[in-house]
Chains A and B, each alone.
Chain A
Amino acid sequence: MPPPSATYIEGLSAVADTVVSDRLSKRKTRHLRERVIEFVLFSAAAFSVFVTLGIVYVLVSESVHFFQQVSIWDFLTDTQWTPLFDDAHYGVMVLLSGTLVSSAVALAVAVPLGTIIAIYLSEFAPFSIREWAKPLLELLSGVPTVVYGYFALLFVTPLLQVLIPGLPGFSLLSAGLVMGIMIIPYVSSVSEDAMRAVPMSMREGSYAMGATRFQTAMRVVTPAALSGITAAYILGISRAVGETMILAIAAGMQPNLTWNPTEPAATITSFIVQVALGDLPHGSIGYQTIFAAGLTLLLLTLAFNVLGHMLTRRFRQVY
């Protein structure tokens, strides 16, 4: 077989060159497309960071204007909240007391009920009850808060007035109770997840020693899941502190420095609603007040959320 002629080899390599360069150029567009798509997807993910920055920027920039006119000391220590009166006082304690009292009432409902439901569903309930209970709890958390507000004002309050004579038509108590029911699903689902994360071998060990279900649940599973359960409570608190509509409807909106749940009072959130319902000019001190109130709320919930997530992470690391 004669060796291939020089022209033949040249021709072959020319063909190979075009094919390779052709494919390379195609590859380039393929890569370019991939890069563009990756960049678009990345921008979408990075967008969430801008949302946070936007929240912080808006709240801080308006609050700065507010704190140029009101000293932080007054804001934290004054015992009156009358931002829209001529004799204006800006004592956020007044709103904070309403927020804390209503949250305390809500937790007094949600913590025991949520915990017991979580222990029951994780350790006791037969499969058939779980299949019903989980969707039920999900529906409970799907009810719009304005509907809960209606229920608190027009069903729970009249009911409580029978039990507690002299209860006013608006009260932190009825709003807090309904808020507690609303929070149960959050508390129970996070606690249940924590309990299910406890390894089966720990339960088996307990049963092998002759412990009953109740003893195992109380002395083995609950302590092992404790930090997760605490995280559930803290996430519940931050939910309660940020809740708006139930309080705006059923707790009345007058500022009232009180620690008594049977009184009506405004909270941070319901004050913002009240101002937004009115007609405040953009840039006025009244308008800036709601941003200062919002900043207080954000810091409060942020503190609880960070604490909650730290605890959640701890319980994940145990096993």
Chain B
Amino acid sequence: MDQSVLQQTRDLIRRHKRWDLIFAAVGVVCLGVAALTFTALVIDMAIDGAPRLSPDFFTNFPSRRPAQAGILSAWVGTTLVMMVTAGAAIPVGVAAGVYLEEYAPKNLFTAIIEINITNLAGVPSIVYGLLALGLFVYAFGFGQSILSAGLTLALLILPVVIVATREAIRSIPSAIREAAYAVGATKWGTTWDHVLPYSMAGILTGVIIGMARAIGETAPIITIGALTFIAFLPPAPVQAGFPFLSFEWLTAPFTVMPIQMFNWTSRPEAAFHQNAAAAGLVLLFMTLSMNALAIYIRFQLRKRIKW
């Protein structure tokens, strides 16, 4: 009698524990689906695109003949647009983050700014494109230029930079600030000499993730009307003669990597699809290595800093 009750209880426990195993297996399978998709994506593009990845591919302009087409204007355009984006988004984003963490009083306006930033992060990227089309391209008269595109992407990644800055600053213990105040530092002195240097790695992580996102963004740049066929380079920023620096490139028409890839993908010929795959590999390499760098910095940070 006792023996059979014991046996029943053991069976019950075993049955329930079996569900643990089954669910763990299902979980691994789901993670596997994600991993498999990612692998399939990379391998599929590598098979199609790798043969096209020669030095010529990086030094040729786009062409009607797929075998001669390259991504020179696209990667130069991406580099220049990213310079504008970084130049605009990093100072504004970090300053806004510092204000919200270190300075902002607890009042209605601060609350509005905070809610607003959360909402901006959820606005679809194409809406930023429409904003830029109405404002930068037509109202401000920047035209369909590198400047317009760079500023658009800067607005897009602003919430990412702000949130990362705030999180990095928040993780600094207040004892650091109190020590600085105790020896007579002003608020800005404390922020500039202590809070910002210590939170630099965290801010950098956010900036890199934001930039990686900006590099891959296509929709807002298409919306402002970037051309897809550009067979020339913008004027070089560094000139041989006086005054050595030129800002003409800011107003030049341009193309970027994702737009070049989109253009090749939407053509019917398979040969152009190979070019698209090759451009996709380069793009993927750029964004993934930036993401990996951010993950690595965060990992190092977690290991090193013990407050």
Interface residues of A in 26-68 (CB under 8 A from B): 30, 33-34, 37-38, 40-42, 44-49, 51-52, 54-55, 58-59, 61-62
Contact B119–A302 (Cβ < 8 Å): yes
**A residues lining the B interface (CB < 8 Å):** 30, 33-34, 37-38, 40-42, 44-49, 51-52, 54-55, 58-59, 61-62, 112-113, 116-117, 119-121, 124-125, 129, 133, 135-140, 142-151, 153-155, 181, 184, 212-215, 217, 235, 238, 241-245, 248-249, 269, 272-273, 276-277, 282, 290-291, 294, 297-298, 301-302, 305-306, 308-309
A and B contact pairs by CB, cutoff 8 A, 27 listed:
A38-B188, A44-B92, A45-B96, A62-B134, A112-B30, A113-B30, A117-B27, A120-B28, A125-B27, A139-B288, A143-B287, A144-B284, A146-B265, A150-B45, A212-B16, A215-B16, A241-B124, A242-B125, A242-B127, A244-B124, A272-B130, A272-B219, A276-B222, A282-B138, A294-B126, A298-B124, A302-B122
Contact present for A34 and B188 (CB under 8 Å) = yes
Interface-central residue, B31, B228, B290, by most chain A CB under 10 Å: B31
Inside 8 A of A33's CB, which chain B residues have their CB? 186, 188
Q: Mark B199-222, 1 if CB is under 8 A from A, else 0.
A: 000000000010011011111001
- Chain B residues near A42 (CB-CB < 8 A): 99, 103
Name the CB-closest residue of A to B192. Answer: A37
Quick one: CB contact mask for B223-262 with A, threshold 8 Å, 1 for yes?
1110010000000000000000000000000000010011
Q: How many A-B residue pairs have CB under 8 A?
A: 264
Residues in chain B within 8 A of chain A (CB atoms): 16-17, 19-20, 22-24, 26-28, 30-31, 33-35, 37-38, 40-41, 44-45, 48, 91-93, 95-96, 98-100, 103-104, 112-113, 116-120, 122-131, 133-135, 138, 155, 158-159, 162, 186-188, 209, 212-213, 215-219, 222-225, 228, 258, 261-262, 265-266, 273, 276-277, 280, 283-284, 287-288, 290-292, 295
List, in ascending order, chain B residues with CB within 8 A of A40's CB. Answer: 95
- Min CB–CB distance B43 → chain A (angstroms): 10
Whether B120 lies near A59 (C-beta < 8 A) is no
Which chain B residue lies CB-closest to A294? Answer: B130
A278 to chain B, nearest CB (A): 10
- Expressed in whole angstroms, the Cα–Cα distance for A47 and B287 within the complex equals 28
State how many angstroms separate the Cβ of B277 from the closest Cβ of chain A. 7
Q: A42-B103, A143-B284, A147-B216 are in contact. Are A273 and B96 (CB under 8 A)?
A: no
User: Which of chain B's residues has its CB closest to A214's CB?
Assistant: B19
The 10 closest A-B pairs by CB, nearest first: A242-B124, A144-B216, A120-B27, A44-B95, A58-B134, A41-B99, A244-B219, A142-B291, A305-B122, A45-B96
CA distance A217 to B19 in the complex (A): 11
Q: Which residues of A contact B212 (CB under 8 A)?
A: 142
B19 with A305: CB separation less than 8 A: no
Decide if A124 touches B23 in the complex (CB within 8 Å): yes
Q: A117-B31, A277-B222 are in contact. Are A49 and B112 (CB under 8 A)?
A: yes
Q: Indicate if the CB atoms of B40 and A59 lie closer than 8 Å.
A: no
Neighbouring A residues of B40 by C-beta, 8 Å:
151, 155
Chain A positions within 8 Å of B187 at CB level: 34, 38
Contacts A47-B96, A48-B117, A301-B124 given; indicate if A124 touches B27 (C-beta within 8 A): yes
Q: Chain B nearest CB: distance from A291 CB in Å?
A: 6
The answer to whether B283 touches A181, judged by C-beta atoms less than 8 angstroms apart, is no
* Contacting residues, chain B, for A46 (C-beta < 8 A): 113
Query: Across the interface, do B131 and A58 meet the contact criterion of CB distance under 8 Å?
Result: yes
Using CB atoms, name the residue of chain B closest to A180: B37
